[in-house]
Structure 1
Amino acid sequence: MPTGVHLRDARQQLFDAAERVLLRDGPHALTSRAVTDEAGCAKGVLHRHFSDFDAFLADLVLDRAAQLEAQTGALRESAGTGTVGDNLTGALTILFGPIPVAIIPLITFRDELRARLRKATPGGGIAILAQATTAVSAYLTDERERGRIAADADIDSLTLSLVGGGHLLFTDRDPGPPTTAVVDKFVSAVIADAVRRRPTASHPML
């Protein structure tokens, strides 16, 4: 294994290498040696940029959570367009894509990582799930204000059902992630009552 490889953007290349290890081998296989071997550099490269491996992992999770925030911004922008079901189906597919789903058990597996994330950001203990919860809750609130779901809909309960159930749905990836039809069926079941109880018929149907 080469020890003198110069990494142009060391942090990003190390993050990308960690993702590949996670997706291929799972959270238990993610070590500093596995990351630097995957990146093709000396182990010392990681420690030149991070105080220790948990600091590296915390930055990895926060970096990916920030990317997810940018991607899910489109969910709020979709409020009032298309259908509520289609918008949520598309959002859950992004929120629980391969990388977020791989990162969640990594956080669960490492106590020190959760502790660092809690210090770094509110709700950071399970940063990816917190990001998903915030995005879905904000979107549902926007749709309620537009009259596309019932005025008395319990946003917190709907969000919990969508995020919790969505996480379970995407975690079982054998033989692969759920199809769009499966996700759409799940979403439709969760939001059906809130959509049917809308106070007026003047808004677009689901």
Structure 2
Amino acid sequence: MQSYFISLLTIVLFSTSISLAQKRELHGREEAHGELKHHRLSVIWGHAYVPKAFSNPDKPQTLIIPTIGLDYEYFFSHKFAIGLSNELELSNYVVETRHHTEEVEREYAYVGAILAMYEVSHLLIIGIGPGIEIEKNHNFFVGKITVEREFPIMGEGGWDVTPVLSYELKSSHGHGIYDAFTFGIGIGKRF
């Protein structure tokens, strides 16, 4: 798990240094979107990689799970926001938890989280916060970290395309721990 966290942190720091090195004369969101628009809604299509997941115990293989999400963010300023992340996994699979050798079945799990968000450089945003994975067999508590970079489109209309990378650590008292990495592309609108 430490190597996954270190990898994610390295990506964040590398992305930040690239953005800072670009020497643009931009002034945060005002340049990209005009005046500050407090609300942002986005639809995200993605794929999750769950290292301990499998669909057939006789044939272990890498399992990539399709996801769809709907995120809402409220910006207090150009730098700080709070976000509500909603994601639905569009697959059934079995996961082996870390601290137990138990296998837990997952069927179309919903993952929701409340994130504190901060813009570390121009339109590069990190978020972190708690959440829950709800599923009919067993629910898990979630710790979530996200990194997203907005690319404004269509002039001043407030539309953007946003690649999103997230890491989720999922734990349950009776069923151990497992984690997931998700990469998605979002289409967002500020209003």
TM-score range normalised by the length of the shorter chain = under 0.3
Tell me which protein shows more strand as a share of its residues.
2
Q: Which has the higher helix share?
A: 1
TM-score, scaled relative to structure 1: 0.26
